[in-house]
C-alpha cells in the first residue's frame, strides 16, 4: 500500500538511543623502525523506535489499531521495536619503515550482535481509500485492507563475524612522487562469499617540486559488510515463523469501498475493529505458523561493493590561499535488490483488481525459481506443500553510478579572516535508489525490468554550494563575525498514480509520462498556494525545490583575568527567512489530495542569544 507519512499527534512515535563506547590501545616499538599498534574497543547501541506507550512498557497488542487514511495516519503508531547492538572489535597494525617504504600489515576482527524485540503492527493497521471518518452506513468509509503481526512479539538474536586483513606500502619513489599500494581481504559469516579481495592504488605528484602544485589520484575496491537488516527477513519472515505480518486480503485490496460497496473480506466487514479470534482461525495457532508471503535466502548472495576512482589537482595561488579541483567516480556493484520468485499478474490496470500467480505452493516456487533458494532454515517443515503467494528474496543485481566535480577555494586564517568556498557538480544514477534496499518494481514474471528501474538516485543533488567564513573585526577587542551559506538542488522523486497498475504486475508504482503537474492548497483564511513540477517521466523524473539558507553568528569574548573570561553569542539561522520544505513529506502520488504539497517546513528564521562564563 502506498500512503502519505503525515501523522496525527495520536499516532506519534519517538526514538530513544543510548550509546556507549570503550576503547583501549597499546602502541609499542619492537625495534627502532618497527611499530605495533593494538586497539580493543566495545560499542553498544541501545535504541528503540516506537510509540510512547510501548516505550513506557505497554504491549503493542493492547493498543488500539492504526488507522491509515488516504493522506494521514491516526489513532496509534504501529512502530514498536527495540534493539541492542554490541560490537567487540580487535584491530592490530604493524608498521615497518624500510628505506623509502612504509609498510603496514594489519588485521581487523569485529564480533557484532543484534538482540531485538519487535512488536511492530501487533495492534493491527487498517488502510482506508479516503479520508472520510468511519460511518457504519457508508461503504466508502470502510477500510479496504488490514495487516497485523501474527504469532506474537518477534524476538531475534543474530551474530556476524567480520574479518579483514590488509597489506599497504607507502612508497616515496623520489622527491616528487609518492605511491600508495595495497590489497585487502574482507570476509563475514552471514554470507558464503569468500572472494572479496580488493586492490588499492593511490599517488601524489608534486608537479613543480616546490610543494605548491600537487596532482593526486587513487583507485580502490571497497566491500561492504552485509547489514543485519538485509538478512533479518530470512530468519523472521520465512515460510514458517513464530511472528510475521499478514495482509488481509492476501494479494490485493478489497475492491468494495472504492467502488461504493461494503467490503467482503471478513476482517474488514465490521470496520476498523480487530477480531483476534477470527484472525487466529484464519492463520492457525501454534508456536510456528505458516507464512504464505515469505522472504527466503539464495545461495548466490554476495557482499556488495563499490569501485571508486578519483583524480585531483591542488594549487597554492598565494600565501594561505589554495584552489582544489577533484573528479570522483563511484560505481556501486552487486547492490541488493528485492525480487519476487512468484510474481503476480493483475487482471486489469485497476489497483484493486485480482492478482493471480503462477504457483500455489512453495515447493513449486522453489523448484521453478530463477535463483537457487536456501532451504536450510525450513527444511524440517513441509514447505513443499505449503501455500504460497508472494515469495521474495534478495539478489545482487543492483548498480549505482556517481560522478562529481568538486571545486574549492580555501583561505587559511591570516590578517584576521578565513573562508572556504566549495561547489560540487554531481550526478547519481542507478537501477536502485541508493538509500535503502532496492526493489524490482517493474518485474514481470522472470523479467526483472531493470532498465525501467533506472533513473536518478536519492543522492543525486546536482548542485551543492557551501561558503563558510570568519572575520575578526579589528579594534573591537574580540568581536568575531562568522557565516555559513548553503545552496543545493532539490532531490529527485517519482510522479505516479497508485490507483493504476499500468504494467499489471501487482505493484502500483508505475511512473506517469512526462509533463507538468500541479496542485493547490487552500487555507482556512482563503489563502492559496500553488505547487507545480516539471516531470521528465520515468523513475525520479521530477525534482523537488532546492534548499537555501544563510546562518550568521556574532561572538564577543573578553577576559577578566588570565583564567576568567566571559562571552556573548548572537546567532541567526535562516537569515533570509526562506521557506525550505522537508522533502521527505512531499508525495508524488497524484491520487492523493496532498500530491506535491509539503506537509512540513524546515525551521523559519530563528534567533538565539547566549552568554558563557569560563573560569
Q: Could you give the CA distance from residue 91 to residue 513 in angstroms, rounded to a whole number?
A: 53
Query: Please, what is the average pLDDT of the chain?
Result: 92
3-state secondary structure 473-518: CCCCCCEEEEEEEEEECCCEECCECCCECCCCCCCCCCECCCEEEE
pLDDT at residue 5, as a whole number: 53
510 assigned to some structural domain: yes
Write out pLDDT tens, residues 325-362.
999 999 999 999 999 999 999 999 999 899 999 999 99
Whole-number CA gyration radius for the chain: 29
Write out pLDDT tens, residues 11-23.
888 888 899 999 9
**Total domains present in the chain:** 1
159 assigned to some structural domain: no
DSSP secondary structure string, 182-205? Answer: EEEEEEESSS-----EEEEEEEEE
478 assigned to some structural domain: yes
Q: Which one has a higher pLDDT value, 88 or 476?
A: 88
CA 7 to chain centre: 20
Write out pLDDT tens, residues 221-268.
999 999 998 898 898 889 998 899 999 998 889 999 999 999 999 999
- Report the SS3 class of residue 532: strand
Task: With a cut of 80, say whether residue 285 has pLDDT above it.
Answer: no
Q: Could you give the CA distance from residue 254 to residue 143 in angstroms, rounded to a whole number?
A: 8
> What confidence category does residue 476 fall into, taking pLDDT thresholds of 50, 70 and 90?
confident
- Which residue range forms the structural domain that includes residue 505? 462-615
Write out pLDDT tens, residues 202-222.
999 999 888 899 999 999 999
Write out pLDDT tens, residues 144-197.
999 999 988 989 999 999 999 999 999 999 999 999 999 999 999 998 888 899
pLDDT at residue 2, as a whole number: 44
483 assigned to some structural domain: yes
Element (H, E) at 236: helix 228-236
593 assigned to some structural domain: yes
pTM score: 0.87
Locate 553 and state its grid cell: 553568528
- Total residues found in the chain within this entry: 615
pLDDT at residue 1, as a whole number: 46
Write out pLDDT tens, residues 410-457.
999 998 999 999 999 999 999 998 877 889 999 998 899 999 999 999
Judged by phi (left if over 0) then psi (alpha if -120 to 50, else beta), residue 99 lies in left
Write out pLDDT tens, residues 81-125.
999 999 999 999 999 999 999 999 999 999 999 999 999 999 999
570 assigned to some structural domain: yes
Q: Could you give the CA distance from residue 54 to residue 122 in angstroms, rounded to a whole number?
A: 11
Percent of the chain exceeding pLDDT 70 equals: 99
604 assigned to some structural domain: yes
211 assigned to some structural domain: no
Distances (CA, A) of 67 to 10, 116, 126, 152, 252: 10, 26, 5, 20, 18
Amino acid at each position: 500500500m502506498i500512503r502519505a507519512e503525515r501523522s496525527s499527534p495520536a499516532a506519534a512515535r519517538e526514538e530513544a538511543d543510548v550509546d556507549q563506547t570503550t576503547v583501549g590501545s597499546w602502541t609499542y616499538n619492537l625495534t627502532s623502525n618497527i611499530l605495533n599498534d593494538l586497539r580493543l574497543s566495545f560499542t553498544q547501541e541501545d535504541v528503540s523506535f516506537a510509540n510512547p506507550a510501548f516505550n513506557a512498557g505497554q504491549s503493542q497488542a493492547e493498543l488500539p489499531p492504526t488507522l491509515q487514511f488516504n493522506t494521514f495516519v491516526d489513532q496509534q503508531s504501529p512502530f514498536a521495536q527495540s534493539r541492542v547492538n554490541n560490537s567487540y572489535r580487535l584491530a592490530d597494525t604493524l608498521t615497518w619503515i624500510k628505506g623509502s617504504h612504509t609498510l603496514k600489515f594489519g588485521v581487523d576482527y569485529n564480533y557484532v550482535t543484534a538482540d531485538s524485540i519487535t512488536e511492530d503492527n501487533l495492534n493491527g493497521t487498517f488502510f482506508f481509500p479516503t479520508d472520510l471518518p468511519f460511518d457504519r452506513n457508508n461503504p466508502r468509509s470502510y477500510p479496504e485492507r488490514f495487516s497485523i503481526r501474527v504469532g506474537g512479539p518477534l524476538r531475534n538474536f543474530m551474530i556476524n563475524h567480520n574479518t579483514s586483513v590488509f597489506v599497504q606500502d607507502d612508497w616515496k619513489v623520489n622527491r616528487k612522487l609518492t605511491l600508495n599500494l595495497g590489497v585487502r581481504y574482507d570476509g563475514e559469516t552471514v554470507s558464503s562469499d569468500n572472494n572479496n579481495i580488493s586492490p588499492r592504488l593511490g599517488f601524489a605528484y608534486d608537479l613543480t617540486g616546490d610543494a605548491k602544485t600537487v596532482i593526486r589520484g587513487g583507485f580502490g575496491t571497497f566491500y561492504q559488510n552485509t547489514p543485519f537488516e538485509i538478512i533479518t527477513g530470512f530468519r523472521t519472515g520465512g515460510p514458517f515463523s513464530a511472528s510475521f505480518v499478514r495482509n488481509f486480503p492476501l494479494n490485493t485490496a478489497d475492491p468494495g469501498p472504492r467502488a461504493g460497496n461494503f467490503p467482503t473480506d471478513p476482517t474488514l466487514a465490521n470496520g476498523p475493529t480487530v477480531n483476534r479470534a477470527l484472525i487466529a482461525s484464519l492463520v492457525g495457532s501454534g508456536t510456528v505458523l505458516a507464512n504464505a508471503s515469505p522472504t527466503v535466502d539464495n545461495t548466490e548472495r554476495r557482499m556488495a561493493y563499490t569501485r571508486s576512482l578519483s583524480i585531483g589537482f591542488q594549487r597554492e595561488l598565494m600565501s594561505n590561499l589554495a584552489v582544489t579541483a577533484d573528479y570522483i567516480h563511484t560505481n556501486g556493484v552487486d547492490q541488493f535488490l528485492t525480487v519476487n520468485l512468484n510474481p503476480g499478474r493483475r487482471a486489469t490496470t485497476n489497483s484493486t483488481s485480482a492478482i493471480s500467480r503462477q504457483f500455489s505452493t512453495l515447493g513449486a516456487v522453489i523448484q521453478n525459481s530463477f535463483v537457487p533458494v536456501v532451504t536450510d532454515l525450513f527444511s524440517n517443515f513441509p514447505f513443499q506443500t505449503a501455500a504460497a503467494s508472494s515469495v521474495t528474496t534478495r539478489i545482487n543485481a543492483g548498480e549505482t553510478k556517481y560522478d562529481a566535480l568538486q571545486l574549492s577555494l580555501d583561505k587559511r586564517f591570516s590578517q584576521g579572516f578565513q573562508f572556504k568556498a566549495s561547489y560540487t557538480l554531481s550526478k547519481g544514477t542507478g537501477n536502485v535508489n541508493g538509500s535503502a534496499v532496492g526493489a524490482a518494481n517493474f518485474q514481470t514474471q522472470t523479467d526483472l525490468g531493470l532498465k525501467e528501474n533506472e533513473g536518478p538516485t536519492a543522492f543525486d543533488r546536482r548542485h551543492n554550494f557551501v561558503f563558510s567564513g570568519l572575520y575578526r573585526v579589528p579594534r573591537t577587542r574580540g568581536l568575531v563575525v562568522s557565516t555559513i551559506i548553503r545552496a543545493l538542488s532539490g532531490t529527485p522523486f517519482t510522479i505516479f498514480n497508485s490507483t493504476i497498475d499500468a504494467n499489471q504486475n501487482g505493484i502500483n508504482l508505475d511512473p506517469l509520462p512526462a509533463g507538468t503537474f500541479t496542485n493547490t492548497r487552500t487555507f482556512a483564511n482563503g489563502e492559496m498556494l500553488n505547487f507545480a513540477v516539471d516531470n521528465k517521466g520515468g523513475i525520479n523524473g521530477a525534482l523537488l525545490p532546492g534548499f537555501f539558507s544563510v546562518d550568521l553568528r556574532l561572538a564577543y569574548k573578553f577576559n577578566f583575568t588570565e583564567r576568567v573570561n566571559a562571552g556573548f553569542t548572537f546567532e541567526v539561522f535562516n537569515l533570509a527567512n526562506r521557506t525550505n520544505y522537508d522533502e521527505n513529506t512531499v508525495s508524488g502520488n497524484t491520487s492523493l489530495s496532498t500530491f506535491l504539497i509539503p506537509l512540513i517546513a524546515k525551521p523559519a528564521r530563528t534567533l538565539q542569544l547566549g552568554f558563557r562564563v569560563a573560569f
